[in-house]
Each structure stands twice: as C-alpha cells, then as structure tokens.
Structure 1
Amino acid sequence: MQALARRAAAPIFALALFSSAALIFVLQPLFGRMVTPLLGGSPAVWNTSMAFFQAALLVGYLYAHLLARVRDLRVQAVVHAIVLLAAWLVLPVHVTNALGAPSSEHPALWLVGVLALSVGAPFAAASATAPLLQAWYARTGRADAHDPYYLYAASNLGSFIGLLAYPALIEPLLGAQAQSSAWTAGYLLVAAMVVLCAGMAVSANDGAPAPVKTDAAPDAGAVTWRERLYWMAAAAVPSALSLGVTLHISTDVASAPMLWVIPLALYLATFVIAFARGSEKLIGSTLFIHPFALALLLASYYASGNWTFSVAGILAGFFFSALICHLALAQSRPDASRLTEFYLYVSLGGVLGGAFAALLAPVIFNNVYEYPLALAAACLFRPRAQNDMPRLMDASVAAAVMIAVLFVILNVRTAVIDSVIIVGALGAACSMVAAGWGDERRPAPFRYAFLGAAAVHAAIVIWIAFHLDAIFVRSIVEGSGQLEIQQPWGLVLIGSSMLVLMFVVHGTTQNRREGDSPIADFACGAALPTLLFLIMQVLVGARLTPQLLVTVGILLCAFGVFFNRGRPIVMAAVVLTSFVVIFLEDARGARIITQERSFFGVLRTRVMDDPSDPAVPPLRILLHGTTIHGAQLAAPGLTRLPLTYYHPRTALGEAILAGLSTGDSSNMALIGLGAGSSACLTRPDDRLTIFEIDPAVVRLAAEPGGDFTYVPECQPNARIVLGDARLRIAEEPNGEFDVIVVDAFSSDAIPAHLLTAEAIQTYLDKTSDRGIVVLHLSNRNLALVSEAARVARDIGAFTQYRISDRFEQPYVSYYGGLAASVMIVAKSPEIMSRLALPSGGWRAFEAPEGPGWTDDYINVPRALWEGLSGAENCRIYPWLRECGGEPAAQETPAAPTDPTQQ
C-alpha cells in the first residue's frame, strides 16, 4: 500500500492542486459578475474584489502554514476536512443581503463586507489547498519530495485555465445561477480530492508522522528578514501592476469578466513559467525582451486610439514585467522545509500590492499613477550588469530628462515653435558644456572644432529666439496653418544643428576611459533631442505638432530604457520619465481646474482658452477617464447651450426634445448626470429627476459652486437620487416618467447591467402612456446597438435608431456636436409615431440573431467581437462597399465607434 501511494501521489496531487486552483479563480470573475451591477458597473469593483481575494488567500496560506506545523498528518487531514465542510455551509455562491443596499459614499467598504460574508470562507478554505498539499507531498517519501515547488506550477496552471475558461466558455454558455450551482458542485469534488490526497500522504508513511524530506544542510532552512522582505516585494509589485493594467483597459471598454481575467491570467502564467522546472534557462531571454516590451507598452499607452494595438502592447509589457519579478521570486525560494512560510510571505506581498492599488491609491492619487510606479518598480528586480557603452547609457538618461523639460515648457508656452526654440537654446548650452568638459586626450583640433561649432550653434539659436516672428512666418493657406522659415536662416540652423549633432553622436559612442568625467556625456545626451527637434521644426514646419514631438520623445525614452537595462534604478527612472512626458502632453493646451479620483473613476475639468482672442469664451470640458462627458461655455448668455452629444441637432438631443414635446409639460429621468447638459433641453415647466451613483459628479455638475451650471441654471429644482440607477429607478412609481434617458458611462464603458432585458423592461414600466426610453449607445469598441436591439426584440418593445455626425459650432469647434449613436425604445408603435423627429435618418434597427442580454446572461465577448470586427458597422451601413453593398450617394455619417478620446 505504501509503494502504491507513493507511485500514485504525483498525478493525484497535481490534479487536486490543478482543480482547486481552477475552482478558486473561477470564483473571482463569477462573484465579480454578480456584484458589479450593484455598484454602477465600476471597474474598481474588480480591483477591490481582487484585493479582498488576495487577503482571503493570505488567510488561507496562514492557516495552511500553522496547520502544517502539526506533526501528525492524520490530525492535519481531519482539521482541514472540518474546515472545508464548515465553509460549504455558506454556499451556493450569492450576494448577501446582510449589509443592506450598496453604499455610494463608502462603496469599497461595503463591497469588502459583502465579499467576506458571501464567499470569504469557501475561498480561504480552498486557497489553503495549494501550500497544504505541497507540504503533504513533501512528506510522501518520494524521490522528488524534497522539491515540491514544481506542483506550484500545476496550481497556477489550473488558475490560468480556470480564468480563461470563464470568459471563453462559462460566461457565454451559463447564466449566473447555473454558474453558482456548478461552482458548488466543483467545491464538493475538490474537497473529496483533498481528502484522497491526505489519505495517500498518510498511507505513504504507513500512518506514521513523517518529517519533510530534504537534501539540504541542517542550517539551510534558516531564513533572514531580508529574504522575507524580498519575497514580499517581488510578489507585491506584479500584484499592484496587474490591478493597474486591469483598471486601465477595462475603463475604456467594459467592466466585465472577459477583460478582468486577461491580465490576471497572464499574471498567473508568469507564475507557471517562473516556478516550472528549468525556468532558470529563461532568465536571459526574459531580461533581453523586457526592455523591448516596455518600449512597446509606452507606445501602446500613448496610442490608445487603436484599442487592439494598445491593449496588445500594454499586456506584453505587463507580462514581461511580471515575469521578471516572479523569476526573481522563484530563484530566491528556500528549502522545502520552509515551503509554507515562503508562500505565506508571497501571499502577504500580494495582499500589500493589491491593497495599495485597489484601496490606498484611489485615496492618495488623483490619477492612476500606481500603474507607472509599479512598472518602474518591476525594473528594480533586474540584476545589475555591465554595459560596454557607458557614455551612451548616461546620454540616454539626460535625453529623456530634456524631453520632459520640453513638455514642461509646452505646458507654459503652448506654441510649439516657442517651446522648441527655448529647448534648443538649452540644448545649445549643453553642447557647449559637452565640448568644454570633453575628453582632453582627444586630438586638440577635434575638441576646438566641437567647441567652435557649439558656440556658433548657440549664437544662431539665440539670434532666432530674439527675432522669432521675423524669421518664422505664419500664414493660412486654403484653411490650414503654414509656417515658413526665411532663408538663409533655415539652412543655417539645419547646418549648425547637423554639425553639432555629429559631434554629439560621435562623443557618446566612444569608449569611456578610467578617470573620464560623465558630465560631458550627460550634456551630450541633453543636447541630442534638442538638435533633432530644431531640425524637425525647420523641415516639418507647422506639421510639427505636440503629438509628433511626444512620439519622437517616447522613442528616445525607449532607447534610454534599453541602454540602461543593466542599471535597474536608472531604468526605472527612465520609465517614470516617459510617463511624465505622456501625462504632461495629456495636460497640455488646457488648464485643469479640477481633478479627483473616486471609487468610480478619475474626473477632470479642463478649461480651454484662446489667448490670441480674448473674445473667445473659455470652454469647460468634463472628462471621465479618457472620454468626454459634457462641455460648457463659461460666458454670459452661452452657459445654457448644450454641447458635445447633447446639442439639439445631435441624435440624442433630437430624441430628448421629441419625447418632451409630446405634452405641455413632461417629467424626465436622467440616468447618468455627466456635466448635466440634458437639463437645458427641458422647458421651465418640465420636471427632472437625476439618478447618479458618483457623489463627485453631483458636486461638480449639480451643486452650487460646481464647475458646470447646466442643472442649477435650467433645472434648479431637479431631484437628485444618489445610488445605482438600476436599483433606484425601480423604487419609483410605475408610469412616472415621460422620458427616461439612459446615459450612464464609466469613461467610455456603459455598465452592461443597465442594458439587460430586465433593466429596459423596468424603464418601460416607469414610463407614462406617452413615454419613451432614450438609450445613448456611443462606444468605441462594443457593438451596443446590436445588443440593445436584441433586448428590445426579446421583450417585444419598438425601436427607432439614428447616428448623427459630428459638427462644429462657433467658439467650440468640433465640441459643438459629437457623433451620437442613439436608440429610442417605446411600448407601442403609436407612441413612436407621435414623436416629432426632425431628421429623416431615424429607422428601425433589425435585431441580429442570438439571445439578448439578461441579468443572468451578458455576453460581452460577442459585443466586443462584433464591434472590433466591423459586423455592427455593416448592420448600420449595409450599403458600404466593404459590407457588400454600394455606397450611397449621400455622405456617410460618422461611425458609432467614432472616438472622442482626448
């Protein structure tokens, strides 16, 4: 029996670890799917849930660590069986009602309490399986029992498979209740497998307590606090980074399990790779690829308009950053006798990293700064290495700093040419420093030629700076701005810049000899980007935009990341500098008068002025994440003009006005406040009820002293209901509203639970005999028009759909009217026929095949695929050539995914 137990232990233990890990990591998106609708669909629900699950994992690991200290395996098995049985008593998985309705003021605390009462016990009990079974395996007496860490790879592989199975199979095929029942059955199966493993461990030693088998020396198990802190740090950084990445990509698409699990799955994949046998062979290649992945991440973060490219690059950078940390963690693991202690501190590090990103960062930061901080921290786990180009290393750091200086100047002086000339003067001064502090062992003609060229270049740049308007002539040709430099100044500036550039490049590519000062290398690096920007200014002229400058700047920063790959601290500093450039460019051209962060996202109010024309009124723009949520002209007589999506000429403005005009006075419900623009579409006799979940939005747009005055000016008596609109509007009397506008967004992501069959049926129940529901469906990535049409078909509602093009307005350019994709839903065709819709583009939208969304079934992968593949675009514009039709004679309106990202 003993021999059989030892032979069968490996596959049975591996299967049990695989299954238990898959089970607990299916629970995370499953419960997130259940609780997200109660908190407005905020992406922060997942991050807070992850922080809780990491804490529950720590509890499980602590329990396993203490239980493993019991010498008798039979006692361990009995205790663990009792714990598993006790945790089963809270199943099936459900959201407890013990804490009452969700809290808008303290949503994170409410969510943590609900998680603890609903799934805390079974999750902690199941998570203890991984370290406990490995500790039992170390006592089986097998030849490989001294190194059970490879079973950790099986555990993480199970987590990885479970996470991928959820969006790919479980969520599309099973409703939430069926998922809960299936998880309960899986829990019982895993509990039985754990009991079987306990029996095998006991049988392998004929029932006698067995010590851990180890090949190590007697004192090899000693662990220092420095090692423990290293384990914690190596686990905390990728944990925080995974939450930062998840928040970034889910904010602009949808708060849905499909997007939650991808970063977590990659995070677990790095664990699998790092703790697999032979992983040390991957260290070299990972260290080499990591800088390239970071460079791709920086480019992807900035070029976020292309969602597919952006997410792919961001995930690649995240994967290799996490792998760097986990490989370092795996290489530092102790002897098997300290196995449960190792996992305990790894889990504690994960908790600290997750708590920092999910709970502390939203309190201390007003933007998602924890993301670049975690990326930079991951660089610190690279080993130090020698580089044969030390001059280029120092120069690349100075170049990155000078690029950041350029964008600081751009934020002070908005004209590109002014900033380039100022930075060019700084670079000219740096080139003279480089020439003066150069290697004295070089030939004197070279040193004097460098100094002379730098002095001439400095004189030319200073002369141009004092005669800027005479040398650079601005003009408008056929409606576009032109910038011409008077000759021979253009040729002279290019000549001096090219000459100094050759000296700079030559100096930074030479070998550094002992005793050489690095001052000249830093000065050369600082001069390098300024020379490039001056040459570009002459050659490109007015086409040299801040966007082009930041593109070149990020490229130079990427070189800095690569050249300093052997200096972890410097590499981390260059990564942070790159993000400083991106953040400065994002803030350029406008004053940010408000920026705050809450559980529901980052809110900013930007003010755009035209310094060249004082008559142009300031324009205030509300941004949630990266998406415009309204704008207002801050000038007397213009403050009541709705802009962006809410102008009366947009599809959204038309639908609201048509619904309000069916009676002498109307009662309107607005789900999602934004800047409050819709309030000024109402008449004085109309009534307005606003459902808003974020108290910060109410302070900005509805209360006296806020940044926007639409509501105080047009509907000062508006009733504001704080909380999730889906729950709050259900409390209203049936037939109460004549118009219900569903305009709730979290950045560009519409909470899916507001578009299910039950949700839209609730809205219709609350409408009067002449009432309509107006759905604002503008989105960059999801095929929400098709999903709304499916839901309307399933509940027997009647619809009209239109997408309006973007247009310009005086003072506000294209902010006058943004492209709006809108669907009107009504109980009967008679209600629809009474609407006075001035545009002729309204039509019935035929629902495609497939079941519509319900509270039990939300298929976000389908919506994302149909949005990115162009399937919905062809349903809206079937006459397009790429859709198999012939282009219409009239101009095609803007696509529903027309981005409004700033």
Structure 2
Amino acid sequence: MTSVAVTPHPAARAAHKAPAAWLFAVAVFTSAALVFTVEPLIGKLLLPVLGGSPAIWNTSLAFFQAALLAGYAYAHALQRLATVRRQMVVHLVVLACSALVLPLKVSSLLGDPWQGAPALWLAGVMALSLGPPFAALSATAPLLQAWYARLAPASTKAGGRSAYTLYAASNLGSLLALAAYPAVIEPLLGLTRQAMVWSLAYGGFALLLLGLTAAAWRAPAAEAPPHAVVVATRAVWRERMIWLLLAAAPSSLLMGVTAHLTADIASAPFIWVVPLELYLLTFVIAFAGRGSPPSPALLWLQLLAVPAALLLLADFTAPWPQQLAVLLAAFFVVVLVCHRTLASRRPEPARLTEFYLWMSIGGVVGGAFNAFLAPLLFPGVWEYPAVLVLACLARPSKTYRRLEGRDLGWMIMGLVWVTPLYFTQLDIPDYLRSALMLAPALMAVMMRDRAWAVVVLFAAMALAGEIQGAGRYREHHRSFFGVVHLTEIEPRGMGSTRIMVHGTTLHGAQIQDPARRCEATTYYTPRTVIGRVFATEQARKPALNIGAVGLGAGTVATFVRPSDTMRFYEIDPLIAKLTFDPAYFSFVNGCAKGPVDVVLGDARLSLAKEPAGKFDLILVDAFSSDSVPTHLLTVEAMRGYLRLLAPDGVALLHLSNRNLELVGPASAAAKAAGAYSIKGEHWVEEGTSPYAEASGIVLLVAPDARSLVRYHAAGPDWSPPKYAARPWTDDYTNVWGAMIARFRGGKS
C-alpha cells in the first residue's frame, strides 16, 4: 500500500520571481501574533463567569490546541486542490466567512456554566465565540509555508527545507504577542477596545494575505500541477506516530508544569506565561536551523535537569525561587530535546502540511490528557513528573540489545538503592533520602546511551519522590478548580489541628480537641480585623443576614448566632462537599448556631439573582492560591454588593495577597460605584503560628459614610486607603500594575 504526497512539478519551476520571502515571514508572524493575542483576551472576557482558576487556563489551552488541529487539518485538506491559486482563493473566502462571528464577544447560546461539566461548557463557549477565526488564522502558518515551498525554486537557499524556517517566524510572533499582552495591551486598553482592535487587526491581516495572493498570482508555479511522490505506507504511519508522540509530550509538559507551578509553588500573576514562552522558544530554536538532532551537550543537560526536578518535586522545603528555576529549566531542556528530535525528522516540504497536522494531533492528545483525564485519574498534579520521565524516550539510543554484564549491574544497583523510599513508615533522614533518590540518576548517567533504561531509572526516582511527597498530606482531592490537600499537624499551643490547603494557600485550620473545635483560627480570630467587624456588626444588631463569597473551610461560620443566617457562595463543589461534611470540618455543621447554606456557582452570577437589600454584611474572601478573580473587585461588582446591602450594611473585602496590592484598585472601584471605604490591617506578633492567627488586610465598603464612623473611632488599625489607582471595571483591569505597586512598597 502507498500514500501520495505532492511536490511542485519540475516543469513549473520557471524563472518568474516568487514573492519575497520577507512577505511570507511578515504574514506568518502576523497571524501567529493575532492567535496568541486573542488567547489571553478571550480568557479575560470569560473571567467574570468562571473565575481565575489555573484549571480554566489549562482547559482553554486544550481548546486552543483542538482549534489548531482543526486549522491544520483544513490546511492539509486544501493541498488536494491542484494549484496554489485555487488554495489562495479558498483560504481568502474562509477568512472572510470566519469574520462573521466578529467583533469578538462571549457567546450566550449555551447559557450559564454547567455545574456538572464546566470544562465542556467552557470549550463550547470558546468554539462559538472564537472557533472559526482562530482555526482560520491557525491554518495560515502551514499554508504559507506550503505555498512558499511550491513557489520558491528548490535549487536556491530560499526554497526546499528552508520553508520550515517560517515556522520559527510563526513562533517568534506568538512569543512576542504573549509577552506584550500583560505588559502593554492590558494596561493600555479596556476589554471592549481590545476586542474591537483585534477584530480590526483580523481584517487587516486578511488584506495583507490578499496582497500576498496578488503578488504570487503571476508566478508560473502558482498554476502548476503537482507532481506525485510515492511513499511506503508502513514507513509513513510509523513516522506519523513518532511525530505525534514527540509533539504530545511537550504539550502535556506545558500544561503539567503550569498547573504544578501555579498550584503548588508560586501563584504569582502571569507565572503561567513563563512556561508558554519557553515552550514557544524551543520551537524557534529547533526550527530556525537545518533541523539538527539534539546535541550531546543538550542531552547531558537533560540527564542533570530531570533528576534535579524530580528531587525538588519531593522536597517541599526548598525555597520557591529555587524550585521555580529548576523546574522551568528541566521543562525547557526536555521540551527542547523533543522539539529538536521532531525537527530532525521533518519530511520534505511536499509533506509539510501533513507533518504539521500530526504535530497538532499530538498537541491535542497531550493537552486533552492533562485537561480532561488527569483530574480524573490523579489526586494531585502527578502527570507532570510522569511525562517528564517518559519524554526522555526522545533521547537517541545507540543500542537496543538486552541488558547484561555491567549494564545489568548498573540497573539493579539503581533500583535497589531507591527501594527504601517506597516505605513511608521508615524514618529516613533528609540527607539520606536525597542520596537514595539520586542513586538511580547516577546509574542513568552510566547508561545514557539507552533511552529506555534512563526512563526506567528516572521512573523509579519519580515514584519514590511521589511516595515521599504524598506523606506530606493525608488526603488529596482534585476537581476542575484545583487540588485540595488535607492533613493534621500540631502547631504550638493548638494541639492536633486539621488544615485545608488549596495549592499554596491555607484555606482553614480546625483544632481537633473537642473543647476547642469551635475556636476561630487563621484570619478569623476575634482579634483580627475580620473578627472585629463581625463583633461590631453583631453588637449593633440582634440578628444579621450574612452573605459570604468564598467558603474555604467555613471558619467564619463560627460567628453565626442563633438569630443570624449565613449564605456562602462557592464556585468549587469539592470545597463545599468537604466543608459541609463534619467528618472533615465542623465549623458549618457543628459550630454555627444559626442556619448556614451554600449556593454553588460563580458568586457574581449567583448574587445577581438575590433580592435587593438582603444582607446586613457581605464578606468577599474568594481568592485561592493568590489567584485573583478580578471580576469580584470591579466597579460593576461593587455596585452589585451595594445593591444587596441594607442601607446601614457593610461589605468586607479580604485583600491579603502575597503578590498584588489590591487596596488601591478596590477602593477606587468602591468610590466609582458611589460607596465609601476604609482600610483595616492586623499584624500578628512575630513567632505567632499562622494557623492560630494570621495577619491580614481588608477593605470595608459601605453605601453610607455614617456606617464607617464607628470603625474610624476603633483605633489605628483603620485608616483611609492610601494607594491611588485607576478603578478596575469589567472592561479594564491592570494586574501588572497591581503587582508593581505591591513590590514598590504596598504592604500585604
């Protein structure tokens, strides 16, 4: 059996000059820049609906990869048309038809998010809102490369395999656009204007492609028939599977390292951009040259970087900057090995679109595994170390003979040395644990010419690391919105205490001594600003109706008196399940003396359904892993809180954050909404356990200035906000500016 690929007919290689290479490069660069500008833009448009969970970004990436696949499949199918002219005309028509969904906006056809399947809802909404133009733009890069290979003489340096260098230009456009969005576009333009400018830029790109078509129209190769090349089917399918796997591993690693960094190490804003930038950079490096395989130096770096990453994945005591640097370095090196190997196996330009099609299929496979299967299969972000190890199969192997002699001894030695780490009941000192984990890595160096042996030894090391790391928490629970860890510790003065941790953020701590189980802890003790606000409002009214955005472990429910009522608004069903189960935490079902219930879904959508003037007190405390749902701090959100407050009511916004100065934009939003605000701070004494009592910053907002007078007189912990900022709206946010303000001296 055979398959047919097409290449330009030799007779069609005429002397007529094809369009300049730079024109193709500009078009490829522009299409890629548009693609990677719209990715964060559509995410921002969807933020008011699903919040800011890292899982939302991973699901969005999976959708983008699927749309990329659709575009590449279309580009490959278009090669069935005999001439470049026909292909150009069809693509211009597709670009024009795709523009019918513009200007860019979020489709409302699917209604509110589906509680049982938010990932499917998100993918569906993105397909309806953005799918056609995104797929059309995605198809442009492989199409232009294929056209360039057909139009440029293969005998010159401009043609032949150099068509693949346009792929480097494509990824360079993606990289620069991705960096420009948070640093330039977001601070300068509101969302409505961003969407309009992007829609106009899409039209401008269509005109650019029309100009390129006009320039290429007169080239004899544009109307030349293809010349058939026969390729053995068996060899083709084997090569296709290799392309798929070499693309799937980096795609999975991209999502895995992003989820791990944002959930378990450092939840700083825009940290998700760094792995994606590195991912794109590996494409630029791999495809800019002649497609050479990984160099010996790069393979040695892989042997060093992967064990270092696996060691840090099991060592949670390392400083987070060190973990961040090592894990990103390992990610970059492993992905570069895969992409260099992939580039070295690229076919002749006649099969260029087929090559990109199978690359995109691999991207979808890797992305779908992380976005849809991994949360069901693994209680933690285990897919990252697993794929990090398996990706080492991309290493070249000089021999495949069975193990014997010295090599067999290396393998046995590495596996035996790591075995004690599989038994968590053994009390192994830290220095010895690290030494035992590194033993397989040393043996892997000795067997570096056998890719499969390296994988087996690294897998033994990774398994030991996961077993050791799992002992840090007693239970792990995972949902679409992230990973929740539960365990029991013994902080000084508290005894046995159960804690809930979401990513890197403490969500609650409950003392297990029955006599002290209902003591408020962390940010909610009676001494904190949150505790004092509850005490002040309860002293003023015999009965309060309280709304709380964000559930956590439900600690604040301890303030509920028999005459009070409290309603939580929580987006993650898993959090609600754990918090309302007394077997885990009993703040809600055990300590609260009045009725407490929960409404699942995005808080703003849920609050919009409540009657005006319902609450005497609203607590907004919905930030997980320092990931900021900015739509809860906008002018529109403030107006929503004010609508729900009684005339003398107050809204309490908990703004403690390690990375952002949020008081400025929040207080500006309150003022723009017609409200008054006051900042409250509480700083614990040095040496105080954060489980017992935590420092915090809040903003108290009221529709009537008289409601804040009683706090002005309460002491120095209350003061007018000092940080000036432009108010955030649903159309404009500036997280970058908030981060800069935080590190210029904003206290948090």
Give the Å deviation of 1:712.
Answer: 1.4
Partner of 2:425: 412
Confirm or deny: 8 A CA contact 1:806 1:817 kept in the other structure: no
Cα distance between partner residues in 2 of 1:164 and 1:4: 41
Partner of 1:96: 107
Partner of 1:85: 96
Taking a change above 3 Å as real, the CA distance of residues 609 and 32 of structure 1, as seen in their structure-2 partners, is same
Pick from 774, 788, 796 the counterpart of residue 666 of structure 2.
Answer: 788
**Percent identity over the alignment?**
42
Partner of 2:81: 70
Pick from 349, 352, 366 the counterpart of residue 365 of structure 2.
Answer: 352
Taking a change above 3 Å as real, the CA distance of residues 284 and 206 of structure 1, as seen in their structure-2 partners, is closer
Partner of 2:169: 154
* Deviation string, structure 1 residues 845-869 (Cα, Å, up to 9, x no partner): 3014x423222222222333444x3
Cα distance between partner residues in 2 of 1:783 and 1:764: 23
Q: Is residue 729 of structure 2 the alignment partner of residue 854 of structure 1?
A: yes
Counterpart of 2:509 in 1: which secondary structure?
Answer: strand
Partner of 1:242: 254
Partner of 2:570: 692
Taking a change above 3 Å as real, the CA distance of residues 741 and 96 of structure 1, as seen in their structure-2 partners, is same
Partner of 1:831: 707
Partner of 1:228: 240
Cα distance between partner residues in 2 of 1:346 and 1:625: 32
Pick from 818, 823, 835 the counterpart of residue 694 of structure 2.
Answer: 818
Which letter maps to 1:860? V
Cα distance between partner residues in 1 of 2:739 and 2:440: 33
Partner of 1:266: 278
Confirm or deny: 8 A CA contact 1:776 1:821 kept in the other structure: yes
Once the two structures are overlaid, the 10-residue window that deviates more, 321-330 or 567-576, is 567-576
Confirm or deny: 8 A CA contact 1:9 1:200 kept in the other structure: no
Which letter maps to 1:642? A
Give the Å deviation of 1:827.
Answer: 3.3
Taking a change above 3 Å as real, the CA distance of residues 279 and 80 of structure 1, as seen in their structure-2 partners, is closer
Partner of 1:536: none
Which letter maps to 1:28? E
Cα distance between partner residues in 2 of 1:98 and 1:28: 20
Give the Å deviation of 1:234.
Answer: 0.2
Taking a change above 3 Å as real, the CA distance of residues 25 and 616 of structure 1, as seen in their structure-2 partners, is closer
Q: Is residue 63 of structure 2 the alignment partner of residue 49 of structure 1?
A: no
Q: Is residue 218 of structure 2 the alignment partner of residue 340 of structure 1?
A: no
Structure 2 matches for 1:409-448, cutoff 5 A? Answer: 409=423, 411-412=424-425, 419-420=427-428
Confirm or deny: 8 A CA contact 1:212 1:336 kept in the other structure: no
Question: TM-score when scaled to structure 2?
Answer: 0.89
Q: How many residues align?
A: 727
Cα distance between partner residues in 2 of 1:790 and 1:304: 39
Pick from 587, 594, 599 the counterpart of residue 710 of structure 1.
Answer: 587
Partner of 2:342: 329
Partner of 1:863: 738
Once the two structures are overlaid, the 10-residue window that deviates more, 116-125 or 247-256, is 247-256
Q: Is residue 175 of structure 2 the alignment partner of residue 175 of structure 1?
A: no
Give the Å deviation of 1:355.
Answer: 0.5
Confirm or deny: 8 A CA contact 1:29 1:257 kept in the other structure: no
Taking a change above 3 Å as real, the CA distance of residues 149 and 831 of structure 1, as seen in their structure-2 partners, is same
Confirm or deny: 8 A CA contact 2:19 2:216 kept in the other structure: no
Q: Is residue 477 of structure 2 the alignment partner of residue 596 of structure 1?
A: yes
Confirm or deny: 8 A CA contact 2:375 2:478 kept in the other structure: yes
Confirm or deny: 8 A CA contact 1:691 1:728 kept in the other structure: yes
Taking a change above 3 Å as real, the CA distance of residues 584 and 70 of structure 1, as seen in their structure-2 partners, is same
Cα distance between partner residues in 2 of 1:787 and 1:317: 37
Counterpart of 1:149 in 2: which secondary structure?
Answer: helix
* Deviation string, structure 1 residues 94-123 (Cα, Å, up to 9, x no partner): 111111111232100110110110001111
Confirm or deny: 8 A CA contact 2:500 2:506 kept in the other structure: yes
Taking a change above 3 Å as real, the CA distance of residues 755 and 310 of structure 1, as seen in their structure-2 partners, is farther
Taking a change above 3 Å as real, the CA distance of residues 732 and 709 of structure 1, as seen in their structure-2 partners, is same
Q: Is residue 308 of structure 2 the alignment partner of residue 310 of structure 1?
A: no
Structure 2 matches for 1:293-692, cutoff 5 A? Answer: 293-298=305-310, 301=313, 302=315, 306-384=319-397, 398=413, 402-403=417-418, 405-406=420-421, 408-409=422-423, 411-412=424-425, 419-420=427-428, 546=430, 559=442, 562-588=445-471, 591-592=474-475, 595-608=476-489, 618-692=496-570
Cα distance between partner residues in 2 of 1:306 and 1:756: 34
Give the Å deviation of 1:698.
Answer: 1.1
Which letter maps to 1:659? E
Q: Is residue 226 of structure 2 the alignment partner of residue 193 of structure 1?
A: no
Taking a change above 3 Å as real, the CA distance of residues 561 and 762 of structure 1, as seen in their structure-2 partners, is farther
Give the Å deviation of 1:821.
Answer: 3.0
Counterpart of 1:821 in 2: which secondary structure?
Answer: strand
* Deviation string, structure 1 residues 841-899 (Cα, Å, up to 9, x no partner): 33333014x423222222222333444x3x23xx44xxxxxxxxxxxxxxxxxxx3xxx
Cα distance between partner residues in 2 of 1:197 and 1:397: 61
Which letter maps to 2:585? F
Which letter maps to 1:711? V
* Larger RCO, structure (CA 8 Å, separation 6 or more): 2
Taking a change above 3 Å as real, the CA distance of residues 733 and 584 of structure 1, as seen in their structure-2 partners, is same
Cα distance between partner residues in 1 of 2:354 and 2:528: 62
Give the Å deviation of 1:166.
Answer: 1.4
Taking a change above 3 Å as real, the CA distance of residues 751 and 138 of structure 1, as seen in their structure-2 partners, is same
* Deviation string, structure 1 residues 173-224 (Cα, Å, up to 9, x no partner): 11111111111111112222223333344321175324369xxx86599842
Confirm or deny: 8 A CA contact 1:748 1:780 kept in the other structure: yes
Cα distance between partner residues in 2 of 1:270 and 1:135: 22
Confirm or deny: 8 A CA contact 2:649 2:702 kept in the other structure: yes
Which letter maps to 2:558? C
Taking a change above 3 Å as real, the CA distance of residues 393 and 665 of structure 1, as seen in their structure-2 partners, is farther
Which letter maps to 1:248? H
**Unaligned segments of structure 2, at least 5 residues:** 1-12, 400-404
**Unaligned segments of structure 1, at least 5 residues:** 414-418, 421-543, 877-895, 897-902
Give the Å deviation of 1:296.
Answer: 4.8
Cα distance between partner residues in 1 of 2:112 and 2:50: 10
Question: TM-score when scaled to structure 1?
Answer: 0.75
Cα distance between partner residues in 1 of 2:437 and 2:739: 30
Confirm or deny: 8 A CA contact 2:550 2:623 kept in the other structure: yes
Cα distance between partner residues in 1 of 2:672 and 2:409: 64
Cα distance between partner residues in 1 of 2:200 and 2:41: 15
Partner of 1:483: none
Which letter maps to 2:73? L
Once the two structures are overlaid, the 10-residue window that deviates more, 174-183 or 307-316, is 307-316
Counterpart of 1:738 in 2: which secondary structure?
Answer: strand
Cα distance between partner residues in 2 of 1:257 and 1:779: 11
Counterpart of 1:247 in 2: which secondary structure?
Answer: helix
Which letter maps to 1:743? D
Which letter maps to 1:805? V
Q: Rg larger in 1 or in 2?
A: 1
Q: Is residue 688 of structure 2 the alignment partner of residue 805 of structure 1?
A: no
Confirm or deny: 8 A CA contact 1:692 1:698 kept in the other structure: yes
Taking a change above 3 Å as real, the CA distance of residues 14 and 355 of structure 1, as seen in their structure-2 partners, is same
Taking a change above 3 Å as real, the CA distance of residues 231 and 304 of structure 1, as seen in their structure-2 partners, is farther
Confirm or deny: 8 A CA contact 1:670 1:691 kept in the other structure: yes
Partner of 1:886: none
Give the Å deviation of 1:616.
Answer: 8.7
Confirm or deny: 8 A CA contact 1:774 1:823 kept in the other structure: yes
